[in-house]
Amino acid sequence: MMKGVVYRALQAFAALLMVAATANAVAAGYFAQQGKILDAGGQEIQVRGISHHGFNSPILQPQFLWAMGWKEQIAQIKGLGFNAIRVPFVPDTLYSTTPVNQLSYIDPVLNPELIGKTPLQVLDLWMAEADRQGMYILLDFHSVTMQLQYPTWFLSNPADFNLVYNKQAYTRENWARDLAFVAQRYAHLAHFFGIDLYNEPHGSVRWSSGDTNATNPVYFWKEAAEFASAAVLAANPRLLIFVEGSNGNYDGVENSNIPMNWGENFQPQAYKPLSIPNDKLVLSPHTYGPDVFMKSSFSSASNFPFNLAADWDALFGKFSPTHAVVIGEFGGYYGPGPSGQQDVTWQNAFVQYLRDKGIRNSFYWCYAPNSGGTGGILDDNLNVRLDKMALLQQLWGQ
């Protein structure tokens, strides 16, 4: 009898230790150091991530809930070996009052908890469940509108007012407010480890000053990212700040002739670095192959894909020894897409490049199959693409 009492006491003590460890993780947060992602205890985290889109689209909920259960999706992602999920969202996710089952059909048997819930209420449930299952969560402010990938983090063009949730202009201050809102709202979740400030700024955007043809500072990404990061860290200092690259800065210093994807170019970071605490800053480039965008370095280079490593080095790879570099998006159809074997060659070459550079942290795009230009880890029949998984396991070192 006494043994049983002692055993139960030990069990209770162990449970208290687990609660205390979780509380400490929430309090202390996550850090970047010498190119690594660290938890509160200083242990390195290898980010084996995938994006799961839907909260950023007109359905304002995870994709494929018409055929799958939301909890089962998270469990399948975990079962495949991923330990992190990047979740794109938009202002509508936070402010729409329309129940998600009125925005898109949801299987009520597989997803009874979501019926009648607003997008924000669904995001609340999703975040809590992903955290419960031990998945690291990166929230990605994907666009100011659920209709398309808008080039800037603000929207002032009167012709575009109908694209945002309130049919009014969306300001830089609105953006920072909404980032701080989610940073604080989910601060109690131990596995909520970062916010990606804005997805693929492009168009009129420049990293900072230098282009004599683009002098309006409202389009300077460096200054905007610094402004937003301050708001996020004030609301939740435990988070990491993921910053994507921009398109060319055309300042006469960088090599603006390198073919670039949106979100890929960090060259100005070398001479106009972000004023964000280094232990909180994550550089998160996006790069894609010929299924998404046919660069001249794919189509007209006789030495493809061996010509690509120098471009990747210049755009972001050279920062990996001193900064945490986490690939925010890469992917493609890997065979059945428009470029066929060329995309397979590209993805294989990119994974080998990352292995050679020691960059093992990434988010693959994406989980669900209905993403144009890439498909998903699941095919159209919701079967796992084992070839894509084998590629990612190479990257992870498994």
Q: Could you tell me the two tokens for 296?
A: 């001249």
Question: Of these residues, 244, 254, 264, 329, which one is catalytic?
Answer: 329
Active site residue 44: no
Counting every residue, how long is the chain?
Answer: 398
Supply φ then ψ for residue 278, to 5 degrees: -60, -30
Q: CA–CA separation, 373 vs 370, rounded Å?
A: 9
| φ and ψ at residue 283, rounded to 5 degrees | -85, 125
Q: Is the peptide bond before 217 cis (omega within 30 degrees of 0)?
A: no
Q: How many CB atoms lie within 10 A of CB 158?
A: 8
CB 166 within 8 A of CB 157: no
Q: Which of 72, 200, 226, 254 is catalytic?
A: 200
SS3 41: coil
Indicate the pairing of strand 362-364 with strand 48-51. Answer: parallel
Distance CA 108, CA 113 (A): 8
**In this structure, which amino acid lies at residue 382?**
L
Angle at 346 between CA 357 and CA 386, to 5 degrees: 95
Q: Judge whether 223 counts as a catalytic residue.
A: no
- Please check whether residue 352 is in contact with residue 358, taking contact to mean a CB–CB distance below 8 angstroms: no
If we measure between CA atoms, which residue out of 330, 239, 348 comes closest to residue 292? 330
CA pair distance 398, 388, nearest whole angstrom = 14
Can you list the positions of beta strands (E) in the chain?
A: 31-33, 36-38, 48-51, 84-89, 136-141, 192-196, 240-243, 281-283, 324-325, 362-364
**Mind telling me the catalytic residues?**
200, 329
